[in-house]
Structure 1
């Protein structure tokens, strides 16, 4: 079975916005996950913030609005939500830096991440039906949120590092899926994304 754009997010009407949203998610997630994994210094968060606003946040929100116009409920919900997550993250860190809030309680931050993990868990069900690469994106993102949340709650560097590596894997599969959709839009079936589960032939 050839892997085309239709195999990833459903019926195509005009240009497919999904690669933009996936790239915005992937490359913002890569950078923050490198920090969480301890691969680059925590001071790199100052670079994450503008990227989170412009690419992880704004680009995904725009993608979500386009997915809504295309009638894609999954794409609309996913891109709008994760675009909002990056806006939430950037504002949270910015408010703390500007002393708009007195502190960021680690337990509250941890539970916020776990709540995003719960959202990701049920969105994973939809991702399973889309493609294998999107399935793996949401699987590792779910693991990243829960592990990072636990790391924040228990002040565990090891869990935070593990969550960073899960985030890197989620970003890797998101970037691959973005790449595949772009290339397959020009020459269908060139880059495989793997079959989704429970899909009708």
Structure 2
């Protein structure tokens, strides 16, 4: 009988949450500026939606999958695809794919999509309780963002719910910048340079 030596190769990858949170921070920062009336139009939001909101978070999702991190991979993947979907919707609205498609757009369908993401965000908020408090706060704000987006898309108290979405999105951006900085600097210095808060410890054994 031949003895076979089996070697296991472990591939170590960096924590992708820093680039994922930075992507989220940038796209929400730019998009909220338009909702708050600080800027106008969608043209210069689109590149950030595609590359930072979409591709950066999808990259983080793939890297988190290598860490066997189902929560992080799902969160970054779902929100990366969300921003690609939103970007494509804006292209339709702007008539890039033709006047017929733009004329056929029904904002209530976006409201349905936002409601679906609200459902997703709510159960991910429960999961975020066992990550750290900064990420949990980001998810709570995402919940309010999707409440605002859903209601405003259906024309329910449009001005108030639009403002709810705008303020929530700006706060998401600011907290995500902080979370990204913490992920980079805490790992870089090998200590808690920027505190993010311990998990709540409610659900895990």
Query: What TM bracket, shorter-length normalisation?
Result: 0.7 to 0.9
- Contact residue 144 and residue 164 of structure 2 kept, 8 A: no
Report whether the alignment pairs 1:50 with 2:53.
Answer: no
Instruction: Say which of 170, 193, 196 aligns to 1:193.
Output: 196
Asked whether the equivalents of residues 130 and 195 of structure 1 are also in contact (C-alpha less than 8 Å), the reply is yes
CA RMSD of aligned residues (A): 1.6
User: Contact between 1:38 and 1:161, CA under 8 Å: does it hold in 2?
Assistant: no
The answer to whether the aligner puts 1:105 opposite 2:102 as a matched pair is no
Deviation at 1:104, TM superposition (A): 2.4
Residue number in structure 2 paired with 1:36: 35
Correspondence 1:16 to 2:15: yes
Gaps of 5+ in 1: 1-12
Residue 95 of structure 1 deviates from its aligned partner by 2.1
CA contact (8 A) 1:78 1:123 kept: yes
CA distance, structure 2, for counterparts of residue 112 and residue 39 of structure 1: 26
TM-score if structure 1 supplies the norm length? 0.87
Separation of aligned partners in 1, 2:143 and 2:49: 19
CA separation in 1, counterparts of 2:97 and 2:54? 22
Alpha-carbon distance, 1:14 to partner? 3.3
Aligned to 1:93: 90
Matched position secondary structure for 2:130 = helix
Report 1:120-159 matches (<5 A).
Answer: 120-154=121-155, 156-159=158-161
- Secondary structure at the aligned position of 2:14 is classed as coil
* Deviation (angstroms), 1:51: 1.0
Tell whether the 8 Å contact from 2:54 to 2:81 is kept in structure 1 after alignment. yes
Deviations 1:52-78 (A, max 9, x none): 111110111111011001100001100
Normalized against structure 2, the TM-score is what? 0.86
Residue 79 of structure 2 corresponds to residue 82 of structure 1: yes
Give, in whole Å, the separation in 2 of the partners of 1:158 and 1:103: 27
1:178 matched residue in structure 2: 180
CA contact (8 A) 1:150 1:159 kept: yes
Q: Which runs of at least 4 in structure 1 moved beyond 3 Å after TM superposition?
A: none
Higher relative contact order (CA 8 A, sep 6+): 1
Shift of 1:99: 4.1
**For the residues of structure 1 that align with 2:47 and 2:104, how far apart are their CA atoms?**
21
Contact 2:13 2:63 in 1 (8 A): no
Residue 25 (structure 1) aligns with: 24
> Cα offset for 1:141?
0.6
